[in-house]
């Protein structure tokens, strides 16, 4: 009884700590970013370009870069991940599912920089050739590679939620003469909306938060990208690049705005998808 | 179905389904030992026996539901209208459409009542709305649940009582117009009134379908079936007219079981 209460307290403490740290970080960013707000530059930042030589520190291009790269990555990755997860838990037979599962788990352990490196040598030239212009370092390349990077997370999440669909539903469908694909489309996927949405949020969070791939592959141009074949800079890459160069200037201060955006982005995403997941679950499928 | 005439002659055409020397293995464990049995059309056959004796395993061999179990193995022969259902060329989807199944625990999908019954039609590629509508109503009526649900077809099936859910599952199985209906202890999770409804339903369905029902309840077997088969540790001990089995069984084990001396 006593140890139980102790464990409970310890766990409570741990939970409290993580909440406190999250809140503290947010507070820290707001306080340090405050001088921008009073200077009147804060809101202009979100709409203007990044022209440090003219004293204009807008981060609109980076917001656009982050959003386009992350969302494209998810768009590329979701169908592939769904297919893989389906092979692992529903459609595959023989040794294939187990092998695939092991491979995917292994992929989650590969350091991001390895992906980036492989991307520079394999993917970037391909895209360069296909596009017929530019360096190949562009939104498309970064999104494709990021799609590969976030796929394992999604696959594991998806296949777990597929595997937890009640056997009785599967048997019922099977007994009515459903083919494996029909089982997948009509029973398995509709029954796993919660898992699917959580997987996508997690992956989206990873895509928004990833720094290295964007830094290595996306080209880091500060101009507003006009198409997916143009280079772009993400918020995270921007933070990394500016921090590496500078420490106390207005330029540096704008980073806190980037941080706040990333922070809010994640929060909104999580809340949003929770809502969607819950709504889906309540609806009939 | 499309079996050539000579084959029909050979394969005892008076039987809807037959099994010959059927063995079934879960890995190394032999769960069925040479079960040979015939099912006449439009008759109810009850499979009885103590728990774990292989009744469900046998039933699931009849529509190949055991295919899903990874390391299982079937030996022997099962035929539907004279056609070997384990033949490599056989379409399992078509087989399951002809041999429907109702499970022990009611397992409606978390969908509306309508969608549950229509599901089997959709997976079989039937999309004509009017036809689906008509067939859903017909099936619900056949399953004696139409009056209870006709005003709430768009409500979720999970809001129904256990007995209603089970009759809904029967309607779902009937919607694809099977020829044989397999039922694995369909009333074991239900209260006496719901059980009675299911039993009455079986009586009516017998007019149209060949029914094979597993039950651990001997009174139920006596009430609903024409033929009773007694299983014991994976073997078919005795099969015969229900009256005969319950009044003058030939085997000692059968007599012990039905008189409650074991099991
Ligand atoms: N999926 C399975 N894997 C291994 N053994 C099984 C499996 N299903 C059933 N068995 C075994 O097969 C035997 C027959 O089971 P079952 O057909 O369910 O019996 P019954 O329906 O008569 O109670 C039992 O000994 C049971 O333990
Ligand atoms: Mg059983």
| Cβ neighbours of B122 in A, within 8 Å | 186
Pocket of ligand 1 (CB under 6 A): B 26, 29, 31, 49, 51-57, 69
**Which residue, by CA, sits nearest to atom 21 of ligand 1?**
B56
Summarize the confidence of residues A170-196 as an average pLDDT.
88
pLDDT interval class at A284 (50, 70, 90): very low
What is the share, in percent, of chain B residues with pLDDT greater than 70? 94
pLDDT at A37: 66
- Looking at the complex, does the CB of residue A95 fall below 8 Å from at least one CB of chain B? no
pLDDT at A34: 73
Ligand 1 atom closest to the Cα of residue B69 is 1
What count of CB pairs under 8 Å joins A to B? Answer: 65
Task: Give the residue from chain A lying closest to B67, CA to CA.
Answer: A174
Q: What is the DSSP track for B183-251? A: EESTTTTS-HHHHHHHHHHHHHHTTT-EEEEE-S-HHHHHHH-SEEEEEETTEEEEEEEHHHHHHS-SS
Tens digits of residue pLDDT in B54-69 = 999 999 999 999 987 8
CA distance A202 to A111: 18
Tens digits of residue pLDDT in A112-168 = 999 999 999 999 889 888 888 878 889 999 999 999 999 999 999 999 999 888 888
Domains of chain A, earliest start first: 61-246+269-284 (1.10.3720.10)
Q: Between the CA of residue A211 and those of A50, A113, A217, B17, what are the distances in Å?
A: 19, 10, 10, 65
Closest CA to A196 of A70, A91, A74: A74
Across the interface, whether the CB atoms of A168 and B105 are under 8 A apart is answered yes
Is residue B42 within 8 Å of residue B210, measured between CB atoms? yes
Tens digits of residue pLDDT in A197-230 = 888 888 888 898 888 888 888 888 888 888 888 8
CA distance A268 to B250: 74
pLDDT at B151: 93
Tens digits of residue pLDDT in A126-137 = 988 888 887 888
Number of Cα atoms under 13 Å in the Cβ half of residue B84: 12
How far does the centroid of ligand 2 lie from the alpha carbon of residue A226, in Å?
65
Is residue B63 within 8 Å of residue B45, measured between CB atoms? no
Residue B213 CA to its chain's centroid (Å): 5
Task: Give the residue from chain A lying closest to B117, CA to CA.
Answer: A176
| Cβ neighbours of A174 in B, within 8 Å | 65, 68, 96
CA distance B107 to B139: 17
pTM: 0.77
């Amino acid at each position: 009884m006593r140890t139980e209460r102790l464990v409970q307290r310890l766990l409570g403490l741990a939970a409290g700590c993580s909440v406190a740290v999250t809140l503290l970080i947010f507070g820290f960013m707001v306080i340090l970013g405050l001088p921008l707000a009073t200077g009147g530059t804060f809101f202009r930042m979100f709409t203007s370009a990044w022209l440090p030589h003219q004293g204009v520190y807008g981060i609109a291009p980076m917001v656009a870069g982050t959003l386009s790269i992350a969302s494209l990555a998810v768009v590329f990755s979701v169908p592939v991940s769904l297919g893989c997860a389906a092979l692992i838990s529903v459609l595959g037979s023989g040794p294939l599912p187990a092998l695939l599962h092991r491979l995917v788990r292994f992929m989650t352990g590969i350091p991001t920089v390895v992906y980036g490196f492989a991307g520079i040598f394999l993917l970037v030239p391909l895209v360069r050739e296909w596009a017929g212009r530019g360096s190949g370092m562009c939104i498309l390349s970064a999104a494709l590679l990021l799609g590969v990077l976030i796929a394992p997370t999604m696959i594991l999440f998806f296949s777990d939620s597929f595997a937890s669909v009640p056997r009785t539903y599967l048997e019922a469908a099977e007994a009515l003469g459903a083919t494996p694909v029909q089982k997948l489309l009509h029973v398995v996927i509709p029954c796993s909306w919660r898992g699917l949405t959580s997987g996508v949020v997690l992956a989206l969070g990873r895509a928004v938060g990833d720094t290295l791939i964007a830094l290595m592959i996306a080209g880091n141009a500060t101009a507003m990208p006009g198409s997916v074949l143009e280079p772009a800079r993400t918020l995270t890459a921007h933070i990394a690049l500016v921090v590496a160069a500078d420490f106390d200037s207005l330029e540096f201060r704008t980073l806190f705005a980037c941080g706040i955006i990333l922070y809010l982005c994640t929060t909104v995403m999580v809340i949003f998808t929770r809502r969607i997941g819950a709504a889906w679950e309540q609806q009939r499928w | 179905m499309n079996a050539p005439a000579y084959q029909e002659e050979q394969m005892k055409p008076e039987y809807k389904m037959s099994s010959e020397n059927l063995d079934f293995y879960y890995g190394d464990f032999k769960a069925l030992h040479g079960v040979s049995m015939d099912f006449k059309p439009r008759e109810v056959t009850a499979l009885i026996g103590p728990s774990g004796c292989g009744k469900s395993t046998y039933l699931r061999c009849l529509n190949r539901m055991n295919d899903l179990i990874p390391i299982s193995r079937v030996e022997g022969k099962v035929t539907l209208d004279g056609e070997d259902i384990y033949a490599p060329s056989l379409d399992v989807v078509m087989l399951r459409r002809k041999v429907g199944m109702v499970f022990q625990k009611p397992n409606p999908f978390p969908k509306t009542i309508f969608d549950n019954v229509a599901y089997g039609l959709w997976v079989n590629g039937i999309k004509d709305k009017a036809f689906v509508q008509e067939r859903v109503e017909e099936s619900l009526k056949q399953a004696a649940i139409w009056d209870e649900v006709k005003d709430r077809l768009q409500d979720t099936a999970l809001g129904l009582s256990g007995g209603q859910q089970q009759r809904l599952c029967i309607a779902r199985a009937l919607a694809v117009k099977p020829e044989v209906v397999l039922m694995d202890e369909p009333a074991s999770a239900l209260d006496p009134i719901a059980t009675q409804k299911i039993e009455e339903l079986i009586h009516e369905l017998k007019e149209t379908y060949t029914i094979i029902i597993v039950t651990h309840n001997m009174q139920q077997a006596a009430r609903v079936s024409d033929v009773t088969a007694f299983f014991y540790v994976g073997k078919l001990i005795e099969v015969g007219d229900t009256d005969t089995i319950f009044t003058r069984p030939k085997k000692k084990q059968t007599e012990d079981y039905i008189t409650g001396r074991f099991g």
